[in-house]
Amino acid sequence: MNSPRTVRPYQSYVYAYPHKTAYRPLGGHPAGRPALRDLWAGERKDALSLYLHLPFCEVRCGFCNLFTRIGAPDELTGRYLDALDRQATAVRDALGDDEPVRFAATAFGGGTPTFLTAAELQRLCDIAERRMGADLRSVPLSVETSPSTATADRLAVLADRGTTRISIGVQSFVDAEARAAVRPQRHTDVEAALGRIRDTRIPVLNIDLIYGIEGQTERSWRTSLDAALVWRPEELYLYPLYVRPLTGLGRLGAEADVVWDEQRLRLYRAGRDHLRAHGYEQVSMRMFRRAGAPQEGPADYACQTDGMIGLGCGARSYTGRLHYSFDYAVEMREIRAIIDRYTATEDFSYAEVGRHVDADEARRRHLLQSLLQAGGLQTADYRARFGTSPEEDFRSELDRFEARGWLEAAVGASGLLRLSPEGLAHSDALGPELFSPAVRAAMAAYEQK
To 10 degrees, the CA torsion angle through 358, 359, 365, 370?
A: 160
- Between the alpha carbon of residue 199 and those of residues 6, 120, 125, 151, 205, the distances in Å are 48, 22, 21, 11, 11
pLDDT at 251 (0 to 100): 42
Residue 248 confidence (pLDDT) = 44
Q: What is the pLDDT of residue 243?
A: 73
pLDDT at 155: 98
pLDDT at 299: 54
* Alpha-carbon gap, residue 154 to 143, rounded angstroms: 11
The pLDDT-based confidence of 39 (bands split at 50, 70, 90) is very high
Euclidean distance between CA atoms 351 and 363, whole angstroms: 24
Higher pLDDT, 113 or 254: 113
In this prediction, residues 302-308 reach a mean pLDDT of: 64
Residue 338: pLDDT above 80? yes
Q: What is the mean pLDDT of residues 347-365?
A: 95
The answer to whether the beta carbons of residues 73 and 130 sit under 8 Å apart is: no
The answer, yes or no, to whether residue 249 has pLDDT greater than 60, is no
**pLDDT-based confidence at residue 66 (cuts at 50, 70, 90):** low
> Confidence class of residue 246 from pLDDT cuts 50, 70 and 90?
very low
Sequence-ordered list of residues with C-beta below 8 angstroms from that of 127, at least 6 positions apart, any chain? 52, 81, 84, 85, 88, 311
pLDDT at 317: 95
Residue pLDDT, tens place only, 187-228:
999 999 999 999 999 999 999 999 998 889 999 999 999 999
Confidence of residue 118 (pLDDT cuts 50, 70, 90): very high
Quickly count helices (H) and strands (E) in the chain. 17, 18
pTM of the model: 0.92
| Rounded average pLDDT over 244-260 | 56
Q: How many CB atoms lie within 10 A of CB 300?
A: 21
Span 261-266, mean pLDDT? 93
Q: Give the residue, 6 or 127, on which the prediction is more confident.
A: 127
Of the pLDDT bands very low, low, confident and very high (cuts 50, 70, 90), residue 247 is very low
Total Cβ atoms within 10 A of residue 8: 12
Report residue 14: phi and psi, to 5°.
-95, 85
CB neighbourhood size of 184 (10 A): 13
- Contact by Cβ (8 Å): 385, 34: no
pLDDT value for 13: 83
- Strand, coil or helix: 416: strand
Of the listed ranges 35-39, 118-122, 181-185, the one predicted with least confidence: 181-185
Question: CB-based contacts of 297: which residues, under 8 Å, 6+ apart?
Answer: 105, 107, 140, 142, 164, 165, 167, 204, 206, 235
Question: Are 11 and 66 in contact, with CB atoms under 8 Å apart?
Answer: no
Cα(126)–Cα(115) distance, rounded to whole angstroms?
Answer: 17
CA angle 262, 267, 273 (to 5 degrees): 130
Q: How many CA atoms lie within 13 A of 102 on its CB side?
A: 9
User: What is the rounded CA–CA span in Å between residue 338 and residue 327?
Assistant: 7
Give CA torsion, residues 60, 208, 444, 334, to 10 deg: -20
| Distance (Å, whole) CA 298 – CA 104 | 10
Mean pLDDT of 74-87: 95
H or E segment to which residue 342 belongs = helix 332-344
Q: How confident is the model at residue 242 (pLDDT cuts 50, 70, 90)?
A: confident
How does pLDDT run across 138-159, given as a tens digit for each residue?
A: 999 999 999 999 999 999 999 9
Please state, as a whole number, how many other Cβ atoms lie within 10 Å of the Cβ of residue 270: 17
pLDDT computed for residue 61 by the predictor: 53
